[in-house]
Structure 1
Amino acid sequence: MAELRLEELSARTVIAANALTLKPGQEQFIAPVSYSAAAAVADPNTSWQRVVLDGDEVVGFIMGNFDPNAEHEEFKAILWRINVDADDQGRGIGTFAVRALADEARARGHQRLYVIWESGELGPEQFFLRSGFQPIGETQYGETIGALEL
């Protein structure tokens, strides 16, 4: 594995980011209902989108959102989406991306970074727990709200 690095999502990398694959069964966990509802009113100027590169190859994507005016606390600094290519999962790429997003949240003055996930056998819960997120509540749709203390 070459040294991982982040790069802003761009016209050059968006096609590769969209082509990232998932392991069978993971597709149902891509976007919890809470995210879809919030996305309808999300300001594109507050999003933080990066691809993770291993050398010149796009191996992951992460999107955070920083909105100090968000109605709900968990949407003020949130990990909105993370995807690591199926063939590259388990290599530390997701952890690298989460740490970068946490660093950005900290630099913006946030004390916590949030994430929302749906429970399920092939879902992201264990990854988020290993990344340091702790369950702190549930959404109105029964999804878990997790927080990472910064």
Structure 2
Amino acid sequence: MTKSLRLVPVTPANIETAIAVKVRPEQEHFVSPVVKSLAEAYVHPNAAWPRLILDGGHPVGFLMAFFDLDWNGKGVDFRSGLWRLNVTADAQGRGVGRFAVESVAGEVRRRGGTQMYVTWEPGVGGPEGFYRKLGFQLTGEKSESQLVGVLDLTKPS
């Protein structure tokens, strides 16, 4: 992983750069495009946290986290975690995904959270192995067609 990775908010000045972040074609069915994430952020402004991932000044990914999201819409189960992660094809395998997960975990901790959630589309070539390697455990739940994983942030990583 390069030491120059950083997160920046998506702004009018860099929105086109964010929208241009694309995963490999064979991964497109596993993750929604950035433009959908930005639309979701617009309708969930109090929960969504969209960020462009830069390596120096070069875009290498996009993430959107969520904080205190009303998970089931019933006002009793509020969760925080990683909503979306898109890493450009040329940046995959260089630690960008791990940086993104660690960055969101740090922000969840900073906000007082002890658990971090993520969902993923199951399937061959999908991200399950990546998330499981980072310590996420299946909860046994599904969010639409996606599996739900949780990471205990009280344990050392």
- TM-score, normalised via structure 2 length: 0.81
How far apart are the structure 1 equivalents of 2:11 and 2:143?
34
| Partner SS state of residue 52, structure 1 | strand
Tell me if the contact between 2:7 and 2:52 (Cα under 8 Å) persists in the aligned partners. yes
Counterpart of 1:144 in structure 2 is 147
Provide the aligned C-alpha RMSD in A.
Answer: 2.6
Secondary structure at the aligned position of 1:76 is classed as: strand
Structure 1 unaligned blocks of 5 or more:
none
User: Among residues 116, 120, 130, which one is paired with 1:117 in the alignment?
Assistant: 120
- Write the distance in 2 (CA, Å) between the matches of 1:115 and 1:62: 12
User: % of aligned pairs identical?
Assistant: 43
How far apart are residue 74 of structure 1 and its match?
7.2
**101-110 or 21-30, which moves further after superposition?**
21-30
Query: In structure 2, the residue corresponding to 1:87 is in which secondary structure?
Result: helix
- Distance in 2 (CA, whole Å) between partners of 1:16 and 1:84 is 13
Q: Deviations over 1:105-125 (max 9, x none)?
A: 011111100011111112111
CA contact (8 A) 1:13 1:58 kept: no
CA separation of 1:95 and 1:118: change in aligned 2, threshold 3 A: same
Equivalent AA in structure 2 for residue 103 of structure 1: G
Aligned counterparts of 2:28 and 2:52: Cα–Cα separation in 1: 19
Question: Quick check: 1:25 aligned with 2:26?
Answer: yes
Q: Which residues in structure 2 correspond to 1:1-150 (within 5 Å)?
A: 1=2, 3-31=4-32, 43-67=44-68, 69-71=70-72, 76-139=79-142, 141-150=144-153
Q: Letter of the aligned partner of 1:45 in structure 2?
A: N
Distance 1:131 1:75 in 2: 23
Provide the rounded CA distance (Å) in 2 between the counterparts of 1:86 and 1:68: 30
Dislocated runs of 4+, deviation >3 Å? 68-75
How many equivalent pairs are there?
145
- Offset at residue 78 of structure 1 (A): 2.2
Q: Deviations over 1:14-67 (max 9, x none)?
A: 211111122132111114xxxx9xx59x63122111111111111111101112
Cα distance in 2 for residues equivalent to 1:11 and 1:80: 21
Structure 2 segments unaligned to the other structure (5+ residues): none
TM-score, structure 1 normalization: 0.84
